[in-house]
Structure 1
């Protein structure tokens, strides 16, 4: 099953994905991270790290109006334990990122929470959401979604 996931992930990483609504993939990513036990998968993290310098340059030049940049990063939680969280980027300068932690409301909508600052070195993944609902990046989220769909297929 891992081989199939790897092949499908490699195939799906090459293009832009159309989300059903602008925050559906973001909400899915936040949900996956909250439920994730153990480390995040290595293959999508490697691709995210490989493409991160281009994202940084694009962010610093200025993104298209209405496009939002999110990063998944190992941020220290209240008990000083690293935890993978999604952060809506507010500033990204000199290797430091500042943004708001994204959580899900009880209704399942994404909401921006506490402000956090962290080093670029703890970034695990990235996601650009455009106003028309298309996304770019989200390698970990796509991988986890695919893994979940394949697991559901094998149960039937």
Structure 2
């Protein structure tokens, strides 16, 4: 009987362990790095507005069940391991009502996640990214803005 009660906890923890061992896709590694660089900067208004406007759709799709070929990531300002507010990218595990639980992604030398789960409220979310295994992405308004900004800055005058 005790094993049956522990099974859901085991499944959640094993999914977190699987996430911790995955190498991040290039798009996600770039986003994690860019978010870390932008943590102290003011975020651009227009992409934030569009992300907030469409967040409800992302929530509904996640709660109805994403296909196994897609994963939802959020850019949110949460308390990090040192209990300091930080802008981070989070792999979403659960989203019940306005409460979320996920995994803070860090791009280190091995580009693997090594963090613990984080719980936060929906109001902390700034952007969302639905990433498909074939490379397609939906949302990611901040990432697209930053990418365009970098391309324009790299253009010769």
TM-score tier, shorter chain, comes to 0.7 to 0.9
- Find the residue that maps to 2:155 and give its secondary structure: helix
In structure 2, the residue corresponding to 1:80 is in which secondary structure?
A: coil
The structural deviation recorded for 1:39 is 1.4
Aligned length in residues: 133
Q: Stretches of 4+ moved more than 6 A in 1?
A: none
Q: Describe the SS at the equivalent of 1:28.
A: helix
Alignment pair present for 1:144 and 2:143: no
Counterparts of 1:22-33 in structure 2, within 5 Å, are 23-33=25-35
Moved more, 86-95 or 37-46: 37-46
Q: 2:7 aligns to what?
A: none
The one of 61, 66, 70 aligned to 1:67: 70
Name whichever structure is richer in strand by fraction. 1
Unaligned runs of 5+ in 1: 1-21
TM-score (norm 1): 0.79
**Greater CA radius of gyration, 1 or 2?**
2
Question: Which residue number in structure 2 is paired with residue 40 of structure 1?
Answer: 43
* TM-score, scaled relative to structure 2: 0.78
Q: How far 1:31 sits from its partner (Å)?
A: 0.9
1:102 alignment partner in structure 2: 105
Q: CA deviation at 1:77?
A: 2.4
Partners of 2:70 and 2:47 lie apart in 1 by: 22
More RCO (CA 8 Å, sep 6+):
1
